[in-house]
């Protein structure tokens, strides 16, 4: 599903070309649950932005669901993002004036789905993340963990190929963080592909595959079997 080959990324800072990612090679298949772990500044968000087609690598090859990303124009990339990727962010990115249900419905509006179907789908995914009784709450009436669950519901509402989550537990207390990881684990058991970034070992411990990033290089890519 995802194939990154010889990915390099550098940022231009003034006259300097600052390298951030060096020769990244990753293959991710449908159904995987992967964490990308590394210290602050190791290039995790840069890599997530590349996988999410938000930013382009300086060189290399990225093929997503058969689409050659480096050769795709902005319009195509926007279509690929909307159709294939559900984003979850550290700080939730919910619209403050919309309630939980309306926030989840939003990507379905862009998808051109009828109002009745949208409502039904949004209710379904909110119930899935345990928020059946919070649908009419505004974001500021919800706890951090609940906000992140709304964001997850929004991410899965469109049935994307995969969820991309950058530090999804980073703004949460450890108990809410555990809840989020349990929801991800459940979604993955039901077939959702999830790629997430974290700098916390306890969080990465939930995923069957963990890729370690250090100074922009992959230093380990490890699979383990949970019994």
**What is the smallest separation between the CB atom of 104 and ligand ADP, expressed in angstroms?**
27
Q: In angstroms, rounded to a whole number, what is the distance separating the alpha carbons of residues 185 and 55?
A: 28
**What is the smallest separation between the CB atom of 20 and ligand ADP, expressed in angstroms?**
4
Q: Which has the closest alpha carbon to 54: 36, 72, 40, 33?
A: 72
Among Mg ion, ligand ADP, none, partner that 46 touches (CB below 5 to 8 angstroms by kind): ligand ADP
Q: Quick check: 188 binds Mg ion (CB under 5 A)?
A: no
Among Mg ion, ligand ADP, none, partner that 99 touches (CB below 5 to 8 angstroms by kind): none
Q: In Å, how far are 82, 167, 170 from 204, measured between CA atoms?
A: 27, 10, 12
Beta carbon nearer to Mg ion, 122 or 180: 180
User: Do the beta carbons of residue 218 and residue 24 sit within 8 Å?
Assistant: yes
Among ligand ADP, Mg ion, none, partner that 31 touches (CB below 5 to 8 angstroms by kind): none
Q: In angstroms, rounded to a whole number, what is the distance separating the alpha carbons of residues 106 and 150?
A: 12
User: Do the beta carbons of residue 35 and residue 203 sit within 8 Å?
Assistant: yes
Q: Quick check: 45 binds Mg ion (CB under 5 A)?
A: yes
Beta carbon nearer to ligand ADP, 44 or 149: 44
Enter the DSSP assignment of 112: T
Q: Residue 4: phi, psi to the nearest 5?
A: -110, 125
Give the interface with ligand ADP as residue ranges (CB under 6 A).
11, 13, 18, 20, 38, 40-46
Beta carbon nearer to ligand ADP, 81 or 199: 199
**What is the smallest separation between the CB atom of 18 and ligand ADP, expressed in angstroms?**
6
Q: Which residue has the tokens 């050659």?
A: 68
- Residues in contact with Mg ion by CB under 5 A are 44-45
């Amino acid at each position: 599903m995802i194939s990154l080959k010889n990915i390099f990324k550098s940022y231009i800072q003034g006259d300097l070309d600052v390298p951030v990612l060096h020769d990244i090679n990753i293959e991710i298949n449908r159904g995987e649950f992967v964490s990308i772990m590394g210290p602050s500044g190791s290039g995790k968000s840069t890599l997530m932005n590349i996988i999410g087609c938000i930013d382009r690598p300086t060189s290399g090859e990225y093929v997503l669901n058969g689409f050659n990303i480096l050769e795709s124009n902005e319009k195509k990339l926007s279509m690929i993002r909307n159709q294939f990727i559900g984003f979850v962010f550290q700080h939730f990115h919910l619209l403050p004036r919309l309630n939980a249900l309306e926030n989840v419905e939003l990507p379905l509006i862009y998808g051109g789905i009828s109002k009745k179907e949208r409502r039904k789908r949004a209710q379904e995914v909110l119930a899935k993340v345990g928020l059946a009784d919070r649908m009419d709450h505004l974001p500021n009436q919800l706890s951090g963990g609940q906000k992140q669950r709304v964001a997850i519901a929004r991410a899965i509402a469109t049935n994307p190929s995969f969820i991309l989550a950058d530090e999804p537990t980073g703004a949460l207390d450890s108990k809410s963080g555990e809840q989020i990881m349990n929801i991800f684990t459940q979604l993955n058991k039901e077939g959702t592909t999830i790629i997430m970034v974290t700098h916390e070992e306890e969080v990465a411990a939930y995923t069957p595959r963990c890729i370690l990033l250090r100074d922009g290089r992959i230093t380990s890519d490890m699979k383990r079997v949970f019994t």
